[in-house]
Chain A
């Protein structure tokens, strides 16, 4: 009896594996993910003082997952934002491309079904796969609609840690150090190839810990204390004129210094071009 059951079980198992082999799996955007996209888009819209925005997030089938219309945005914006998102998802392209094609004379393209060829729809990509799209309508201009959409789409794209290996050859690295530029910025860490020729202003990163390795030059670094005239300049970033109090150190080539998240720091004086490698962990 038991053997019989076992054999039946095996048989079912075989059947089901065959069944699995015929479908492929695909990442899907959750409501949580969609809300993250919308909140990043709203943040951007507010930062840019957009007069309004309706923001829609759809899945890979163009079906709405979440929508928000900011106070004061014209009512028609909701449907237009859904249309833009849907078009970007189903055609797997930013909608601006279609607006451009039509503007250049391919007017008959407007006859396509389920098609809103207006700038402001952008696909949401996860690990190289399009999982949905965001559409924005009701901001200051078509250009701003799109900027808000891009800001939203990036929130999810960068929220997923990349599993691929990042490699920067020495030319790329020295080019980055030559002007002081980020090498990589993803949600859980950032790596900057920093260069400084002049003193800086006081900085506080609310979420990022700075791990600094001095490669060239020397500087006077003030840490701790209080930021004078501190203002929030971006999400989780405070900047101020200078630091009152705190600890002053002279840091030079070869030194490593770690500034925990939330601690003010200020490159008060800089001798020669200072080149330093920074890992920002959040």
Chain B
């Protein structure tokens, strides 16, 4: 009986490794790493006395973590998520679309799922976008700076987590 189970599980193991070998593997942003990214962004916001919403989404644009600092306007919740989602699913800073619109490509407003406002920055790992951070609540430049501070902490956060 035990032998049967043994060979059965061996067969399973073999099967599953075959399946894995056939598919590319992607890295996934964890909640722990997201927490460290938000922490870095929050520190930057505190330094500036900025009231903002900070959102971190996964590579599909879905929320992993969000924090609204006390006294931040509530409308910024959706805007921050929108900026993060834009940066994640278009794999570029949301500022790109704001610039396009400003430079006359009004049609960029119609992009499905895009919030064409600066303040959304992709989070990269080994050159791939694994998620994004979006910040809203302050001036456009400040939102972007705070988001960048968060994204910049990503490399360290992810490295720290691997240990």
Using a CB–CB cutoff of 8 Å, the interface residues on chain A facing chain B are: 30-31, 35, 54, 59, 61, 63-71, 75-76, 78-79
Task: Considering the complex, give the chain A residue whose CB is closest to the CB of B74.
Answer: A63
Instruction: Map CB proximity to A onto B29-64 as digits: 1 under 8 Å, 0 otherwise.
Output: 011100000000000000000000100001010111
- In the complex the two chains form, what is the Cα distance from A12 to B128 in whole Å? 60
B31 lies within 8 A of A71 (CB):
yes
| B69 interfacial contact with A, CB 8 Å | yes
The answer to whether A75 touches B62, judged by C-beta atoms less than 8 angstroms apart, is yes
Do most interface residues of chain A lie in helix, strand or loop, or is the interface mixed?
mixed
A79 to B32, CA, bound (A): 20
**Residues of B with Cβ closer than 8 Å to A?**
28, 30-32, 53, 58, 60, 62-70, 74, 77
Given contacts A31-B69, A63-B77, A71-B31, 10 further A-B contacts (CB under 8 A): A31-B68, A54-B63, A63-B68, A65-B67, A66-B68, A67-B66, A70-B31, A78-B63, A78-B64, A79-B63
Do residues A64 and B62 form an inter-chain contact, with CB atoms below 8 A?
no
Residues of A within 8 A of B31 (CB): 68-71
Q: CB-CB < 8 A to A31: which residues of B?
A: 67-70
Q: Can you list 14 contacts pairing A with B, beta carbon distance less than 8 Å?
A: A31-B67, A31-B70, A54-B63, A63-B68, A63-B77, A64-B68, A67-B65, A67-B66, A68-B65, A71-B30, A75-B60, A76-B62, A78-B62, A79-B63
Residues of B within 8 A of A30 (CB): 70
Q: How far is the CB of B159 from chain A (nearest CB, A)?
A: 17
CB closest chain-B residue, reference A54: B63
Given known contacts A70-B31, A71-B31, A75-B58, A64 and B70 CB-to-CB distance under 8 angstroms = no
What residues of A have a CB within 8 angstroms of the CB of B58 in the complex?
75
**Contact call B68/A69, Cβ cutoff below 8 A:** no
Q: Cβ of B67: which chain A residues have Cβ within 8 Å of it?
A: 31, 35, 65-66
Chain B residues within an 8 Å CB radius of A65: 67-68
Which residue of A has the minimal Cβ distance to B61?
A75
Cα distance A184–B64 when bound, in Å?
Answer: 37
Q: Name the one of B28, B30, B53, B74 contacting A61, with C-beta atoms under 8 angstroms.
A: B74
- Closest chain-A Cβ to B40's Cβ sits at a distance in Å of 16
A54 to B34, CA, bound (A): 14
CA distance A79 to B81 in the complex (A): 11
Report the Cα distance A63→B75, complex, angstroms. Answer: 8
